[in-house]
């Protein structure tokens, strides 16, 4: 096998999968995984590991796959990453481990993400139970606010160390964006459930339907717990705030995706929550959220166009997702910026007025700045528009947390270990960094857990 | 946390009262706040105002208007609500204003009950208007005894004045100097009352029943234009100064799912038959 011939995981036919919410990628068979694993050079100085935010021993776990020792491989993986089945599916590998793999220089990098997913799925299929090793029970209580990847990771680390851990979540299901944002066809909810069940086995107490800040005040938590970890995400959607934002048919991606993922609106009326879907849907934005919204709308039968104000090169979404969206039939209209919504007399959206853009000099983000082209306005007729242009910190809790220092954008200020301006309060994930990635949120949860242990053992 | 229905009572056709056991919510709820129910796995998230609390229980009063509220009203004592989240929303701005006029229309009467109590408790003189279609639809009358004056307005004149609440409000404002007004009820009533308040330069609190999903500021679906800025009803509200609300777009957004709601109710009635329990 030539080094450059990367083995791709099996994917369902785009025409077929664009009609349902079942998973797009079927992953590797044992055979394919072994072939791909054997391509790994087992570098002495593995650059891939440096690219991984949690420093997984990548050559180590890949070597065990090549040797057909899947269980061994899983053990190595699990030592570094509590949620490999999730990360294998959603991490932006091309800019992390795979982006740093030496094989980039002579062909295609090792498909580290797909191998990670393979091992995790193999373990699950073969009922490999994770060892539950709880260090000595400690009589100290920790509250975790938010059951997203950062909170769940912190909870698991702390429970393993023997602390009593209570996780508070305002939704009826734990998982954060993994449950309400990322669609089933990319991340089956059963996988998230399995990870959460493991936490329960560790003795973590998950309290659902509790909006901290209202149902429990920060002061009470400070009195009741020895330490607190805040992982509430950055869930408040931004709107462009152009004329017509209130029209019926204009959605934030968060609302659209929550209706579909959490509330199962794609099964309406079998499930009670509806979602509007027109013949045409326009999604505005270029990130993962935009791709997820577009592909969800496509699956509900719409003709979908993504509009983005820069070119494809600048799109922040994972390359694989852009590729999948295109394969499935999502159209891309690049260098285009909406300037107002147009409604009919009943207040329903009928079109978006846009302007064409060109790229100027690089701006602060290092990407070339989009500039409107004069007299280039045109109208895209559509009944549904979904804005996926980013989020702000959610104020539900923060507005009530006295003494908690925020930065100028409203995110929580912490030191490099996740400690906030209140010594026994730690924070991590999107609420500290702004919208980032699952693995970074997990990394933050892990780092803070380590610091909390030190803090409480002093 | 139990969320079992401790007591249920029918107050009028399609209007049902529930006492639900939930120690956290009963302890924390303040006037003006609400909860979100999801009655079963496939259910919608339904926002409902917390109308009173007692011991470990809180009260909601529900008007059946569509599939989910029909289904909720079908539940019996000792049944459970699967998920109850709350309290949500910013509490009413209770302080000493002086003389206050509080207007409750239809099931909105349930929402003003705790507000009137709280206003009186801090020393306000409160005049209350209870408004409804007819005499039979006036609920909770006994709970407003401590009002300075209690007025009624019905569309058919079967109780009190044969006036719309905004008309009665206009009349009272001419006789008495009020420092602030609350008006909670159907959106059209709140809009009409807000117009009166605007003409008289009076601050008026209304409680917006926007269509919500999460209730925590996460979806943006409950957005409403307040004086040219977008606010999220669930966290910035639900109470706003009615004079600042862009009522036209608010009313449009309430009709967003009309077709879907109709279909859901028809399907449901096909399964359960006549809604005899309403
Ligand atoms: C549609 C979409 C697609 C994405 N795709 C990818 C991807 O492919 N790969 C990737 O790496 N990243 C992706 N991301 C980003 C990634 O999901 C986030 O960076 C990550 O989930 C952040 O984790 P978190 O733990 O900080 O917060 P979240 O996942 O946001 O979880 C926060 C939790 O806290 C709860 N909460 C909030 N306030 C309170 C309160 N007051 N009381 C109690 N609970 C509260 C929330 O309900 C939520 O469950 C995507 C994001 C979105 C929206
Ligand atoms: C903060 C708040 C407090 C409320 N308090 C009460 C209360 O105390 N008593 C009461 O009877 N009703 C209250 N409502 C309204 C109640 O939530 C809706 O009547 C209910 O959700 C309708 O559901 P349905 O399936 O029965 O009707 P549907 O057939 O779905 O809808 C009927 C109408 O109800 C409204 N509606 C639909 N879905 C929602 C939703 N998710 N959120 C809000 N409105 C919706 C729309 O205007 C719609 O046209 C409140 C709403 C809000 C936002
Ligand atoms: S850099 Fe690439 S080839 Fe080298 S060990 Fe890592 S995955 Fe294998
Ligand atoms: S209900 Fe989702 S933001 Fe208010």
Does B222 sit in the ligand 4 pocket, CB within 6 Å? yes
Which residue from A246, A254, A271 is facing B219, i.e. has the nearest CB? A254
H helix runs in A39-176, sequence order: 47-51, 58-66, 70-80, 84-90, 97-100, 112-125, 149-160
Q: Do A258 and B219 touch (CB under 8 A)?
A: yes
Does A65 sit in the ligand 3 pocket, CB within 6 Å? no
Does B107 sit in the ligand 2 pocket, CB within 6 Å? yes
Min Cα distance A414 → chain B (Å) is 23
Q: Do B84 and A247 touch (CB under 8 A)?
A: no
Reported as a single tens digit per residue, the pLDDT across B82-95 is 999 999 999 999 99
> Nearest-CA neighbor of A131 among A63, A79, A193?
A79
- Write out the H or E segment, with its range, that includes residue A441: helix A438-457
A399: nearest CA in chain B? Answer: B235
Report chain A residues whose CB lies below 8 A from the CB of B67. 272
Reported as a single tens digit per residue, the pLDDT across A55-77 is 999 999 999 999 999 999 999 99
Q: Which of B29, B87, B219, B231 to mutate to test the interface with A (most CBs of A within 10 A)?
A: B219
Does A29 sit in the ligand 3 pocket, CB within 6 Å? no
Instruction: Give the span between the Cα atoms of B49 and B41, in whole angstroms.
Output: 22
Judged against a pLDDT cut of 70, whether residue A320 lies above it is answered with yes
> Nearest-CA neighbor of B233 among B263, B253, B260?
B253
Which residue from B215, B220, B263 is facing A255, i.e. has the nearest CB? B220
Judged against a pLDDT cut of 80, whether residue A51 lies above it is answered with yes
What is residue A248's DSSP assignment? B
Mutate which of B212, B224, B250 to test ligand 4's pocket (most atoms within 8 Å of Cβ)? B212
Q: What is the DSSP string of B131-200?
A: EESSGGG---GGGGTTSSEEEEEETTSSSSBSS-HHHHHHHHHHHS--SEEEEESSHHHHHHHHHHHHHT
Residue A357: what pLDDT? 94
Contact between A283 and A315 under an 8 Å Cβ cutoff? The reply is no
Residue A132: what pLDDT? 77
Instruction: Give the span between the Cα atoms of A58 and A48, in whole angstroms.
Output: 7
3-state secondary structure of B87: strand
Reported as a single tens digit per residue, the pLDDT across B18-77 is 999 999 999 999 999 999 999 998 999 999 999 999 999 999 999 999 999 999 999 999
User: Strand B83-88 to strand B57-63: parallel, antiparallel, or no bridges (unpaired)?
Assistant: unpaired
Instruction: Give the span between the Cα atoms of A202 and A162, in whole angstroms.
Output: 9
3-state secondary structure of B229: strand
Judged against a pLDDT cut of 60, whether residue A302 lies above it is answered with yes
Q: Angle between the A253-261 and A288-299 helix axes, to the nearest 10 degrees?
A: 50
Min Cα distance A211 → chain B (Å) is 7
Contact between A260 and A274 under an 8 Å Cβ cutoff? The reply is no
Does A91 sit in the ligand 1 pocket, CB within 6 Å? yes
pLDDT band at B1 (very low <50, low <70, confident <90, very high): low
Residue B171: what pLDDT? 93
Percent pLDDT > 70 in chain A is 99
Instruction: Give the span between the Cα atoms of A3 and A107, in whole angstroms.
Output: 7
Region B172-201: mean pLDDT is: 95
Q: Do A246 and B217 touch (CB under 8 A)?
A: no
Report chain A residues whose CB lies below 8 A from the CB of B261. 274
Nearest ligand atom owner, CA of B239:
2
Q: Which two tokens stand for residue A130?
A: 């994770």
Instruction: Give the span between the Cα atoms of A260 and A286, in whole angstroms.
Output: 20
203-232 of B, contacting A, C-beta below 8 A:
213-221, 223-225, 230, 232
Nearest ligand atom owner, CA of B114:
2
Residue B146 or A368, more confident = B146
Min Cα distance B258 → chain A (Å) is 10
- CA angle (A193 as vertex; A192, A199 as ends), nearest 5: 95
3-state secondary structure of A299: helix
Does B39 sit in the ligand 2 pocket, CB within 6 Å? no
> Nearest-CA neighbor of A455 among A150, A228, A159?
A228
Contact between A427 and A325 under an 8 Å Cβ cutoff? The reply is no
B98: exposed, middle or buried (C-beta count within 10 Å: 0-12, 13-18, 19+)? exposed
pLDDT band at A3 (very low <50, low <70, confident <90, very high): low
Which residue from B88, B260, B264 is facing A211, i.e. has the nearest CB? B88
Q: Do B216 and A170 touch (CB under 8 A)?
A: yes
pLDDT band at A31 (very low <50, low <70, confident <90, very high): very high
Region B240-246: mean pLDDT is: 96
pLDDT band at B78 (very low <50, low <70, confident <90, very high): very high
Inform me whether the C-beta atom of residue A271 falls under 8 Å from chain B C-beta atoms. yes
Q: How many angstroms separate the alpha carbon of residue A47 from the centre of ligand 3?
A: 7
In angstroms, the Cα distances linking B228 to A51, A311, B225, B231 are 46, 32, 6, 9
Residue A2: what pLDDT? 53
The alpha carbon of residue A244 and the mean position of all alpha carbons in its chain are separated, in whole angstroms, by 30
Q: How many angstroms separate the alpha carbon of residue B216 from the centre of ligand 4?
A: 6
Judged against a pLDDT cut of 90, whether residue A142 lies above it is answered with yes
Residue A5: what pLDDT? 81
Q: Which residue has the tokens 């493991």?
A: A198
> Nearest-CA neighbor of A312 among A289, A290, A335?
A335
Nearest ligand atom owner, CA of B46:
2
Nearest CA owner, ligand 4 atom 3: B217
Residues forming beta bridges with residue A336, ordered by sequence position:
A356
Q: How many angstroms separate the alpha carbon of residue A85 from the centre of ligand 2?
A: 39
A266: nearest CA in chain B? Answer: B42
Does B230 sit in the ligand 4 pocket, CB within 6 Å? no
Min Cα distance A83 → chain B (Å) is 25
Reported as a single tens digit per residue, the pLDDT across A246-277 is 999 999 999 999 999 989 999 888 899 999 98
Residue A49: what pLDDT? 94
Residue A365: what pLDDT? 78
Residues 6+ positions from A135 with CB-CB distance below 8 Å: A160, A161, A162
Nearest CA owner, ligand 3 atom 1: A101
3-22 of B, contacting A, C-beta below 8 A:
none
Q: Which two tokens stand for residue A95?
A: 């800019």
Phi-psi region of B264 (alpha: psi -120 to 50; beta: other; left: phi over 0): alpha
ipTM over 0.85: yes
pLDDT band at B225 (very low <50, low <70, confident <90, very high): very high
Q: How many angstroms separate the alpha carbon of residue B220 from the centre of ligand 1?
A: 16
H helix runs in chain B, sequence order: 23-28, 67-74, 108-121, 165-175, 187-199, 233-236, 247-254, 258-272
Which residue from A172, A208, A215 is facing B28, i.e. has the nearest CB? A215
Phi-psi region of B39 (alpha: psi -120 to 50; beta: other; left: phi over 0): alpha
Half-sphere exposure of A213 (CA within 13 A, CB side): 23
H helix runs in A138-236, sequence order: 149-160, 177-180, 189-201, 218-224
Judged against a pLDDT cut of 90, whether residue A362 lies above it is answered with no
Residues forming beta bridges with residue B62, ordered by sequence position:
B16
Query: What's chain B's average pLDDT?
Result: 94
Q: Do A258 and B214 touch (CB under 8 A)?
A: yes
Report chain B residues whose CB lies below 8 A from the CB of A252. 219-221
Contact between B153 and B168 under an 8 Å Cβ cutoff? The reply is yes
User: Strand A349-362 to strand A336-343: parallel, antiparallel, or no bridges (unpaired)?
Assistant: antiparallel
Nearest ligand atom owner, CA of A251:
4
Reported as a single tens digit per residue, the pLDDT across B114-167 is 999 999 999 999 999 999 999 999 999 999 999 999 999 999 989 888 889 999
Contact between B119 and B30 under an 8 Å Cβ cutoff? The reply is no
Residues 6+ positions from B85 with CB-CB distance below 8 Å: A170, A171, A172, A209, A210, A211, B35, B36, B215
What is residue A434's DSSP assignment? S
């Amino acid at each position: 096998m030539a080094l450059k011939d990367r083995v791709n995981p099996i994917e369902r036919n785009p025409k077929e999968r664009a009609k349902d919410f079942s998973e797009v990628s079927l992953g590797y068979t044992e055979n394919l995984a072994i072939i791909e694993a054997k391509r790994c050079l087992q570098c002495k100085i593995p650059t891939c590991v440096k690219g991984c935010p949690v420093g997984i021993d990548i050559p180590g776990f890949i070597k065990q796959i090549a040797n057909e020792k899947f269980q061994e491989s899983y053990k190595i993986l699990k030592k570094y990453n509590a949620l490999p089945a999730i990360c294998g599916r959603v991490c932006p590998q091309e800019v992390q481990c795979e982006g740093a793999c030496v094989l980039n220089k002579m062909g295609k990098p090792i498909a580290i993400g797909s191998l990670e997913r393979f091992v995790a799925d193999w373990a699950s299929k073969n009922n490999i139970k994770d060892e539950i090793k709880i260090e000595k029970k400690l009589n100290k209580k920790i509250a975790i606010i938010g059951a997203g990847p950062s909170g769940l990771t912190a909870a698991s680390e702390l429970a393993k160390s023997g602390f009593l851990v209570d996780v508070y979540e305002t939704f009826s299901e734990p998982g954060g964006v993994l449950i309400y944002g990322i669609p089933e066809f990319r991340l089956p909810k059963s996988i998230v459930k399995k990870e959460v069940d493991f936490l329960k086995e560790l003795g973590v107490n998950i309290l659902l339907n509790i909006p901290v800040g209202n149902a429990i005040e920060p002061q009470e938590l400070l009195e009741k717990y020895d330490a607190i970890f805040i992982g509430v995400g950055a869930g408040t959607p931004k709107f462009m705030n152009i004329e017509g934002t209130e029209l019926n048919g204009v959605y934030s991606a968060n609302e659209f995706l929550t209706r579909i993922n959490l509330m199962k609106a794609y099964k309406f009326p079998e499930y009670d929550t509806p979602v509007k879907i027109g013949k045409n849907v326009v999604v505005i934005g270029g990130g993962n959220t935009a791709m997820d919204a577009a592909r969800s709308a496509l699956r509900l039968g719409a003709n979908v166009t993504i509009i983005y104000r820069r070119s494809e090169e600048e799109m922040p979404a994972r390359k694989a997702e852009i590729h999948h969206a295109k394969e499935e039939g999502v159209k891309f209209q690049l260098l285009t910026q909406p300037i107002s919504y147009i409604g009919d007399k009943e207040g329903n959206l009928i079109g978006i007025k846009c302007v064409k853009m060109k790229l100027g000099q690089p701006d602060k983000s290092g990407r070339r700045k989009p500039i409107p082209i004069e007299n280039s306005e045109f109208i895209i007729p559509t009944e549904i528009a979904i804005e996926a242009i980013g989020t702000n910190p959610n104020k539900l809790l923060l507005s009530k947390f006295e003494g908690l220092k925020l930065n100028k954008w409203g995110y929580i200020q912490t030191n490099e270990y996740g400690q906030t301006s209140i010594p026994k309060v730690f924070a991590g994930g999107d609420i500290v960094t702004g919208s980032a990635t699952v693995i970074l949120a997990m990394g933050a949860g892990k780092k803070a857990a380590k610091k909390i242990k030190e803090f409480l053992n002093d | 946390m139990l969320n079992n229905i401790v007591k249920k009572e029918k107050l009028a056709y399609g209007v049902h009262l529930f006492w639900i056991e939930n120690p956290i919510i009963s302890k924390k709820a303040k006037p003006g706040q609400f909860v979100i129910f999801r009655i079963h796995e496939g259910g919608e998230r339904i926002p409902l105002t917390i109308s009173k609390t007692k011991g470990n229980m809180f009260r909601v009063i529900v008007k059946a208007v569509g599939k989910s509220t029909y289904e909720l009203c079908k539940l019996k004592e000792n049944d459970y609500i699967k998920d109850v989240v709350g309290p949500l929303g910013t509490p009413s701005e209770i302080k000493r204003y002086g003389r206050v006029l509080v207007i409750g229309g239809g099931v909105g009467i349930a929402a003003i009950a705790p507000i009137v109590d709280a206003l009186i408790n801090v020393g306000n003189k409160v005049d209350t208007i209870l408004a409804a279609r007819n005499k039979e639809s006036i609920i909770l009358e006994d709970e407003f005894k401590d009002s300075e004056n209690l007025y009624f307005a019905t569309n058919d004149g079967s109780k009190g004045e044969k006036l719309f609440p905004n008309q009665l409000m206009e009349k009272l404002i001419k006789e008495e100097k009020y420092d602030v007004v609350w008006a909670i009820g159907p959106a059209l009533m709140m809009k009409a009352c807000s117009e009166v308040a605007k003409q008289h330069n009076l601050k008026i609190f209304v409680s917006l029943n926007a269509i919500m999903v999460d209730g925590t500021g996460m979806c943006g679906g409950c957005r409403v234009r307040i004086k040219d800025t977008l606010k999220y009803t669930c966290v910035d509200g639900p109470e706003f100064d009615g004079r600042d609300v862009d009522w036209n777009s608010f009313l449009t957004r309430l009709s967003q799912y009309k077709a879907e709601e109709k279909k859901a109710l028809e399907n449901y009635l096909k399964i359960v038959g006549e809604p005899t329990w309403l």
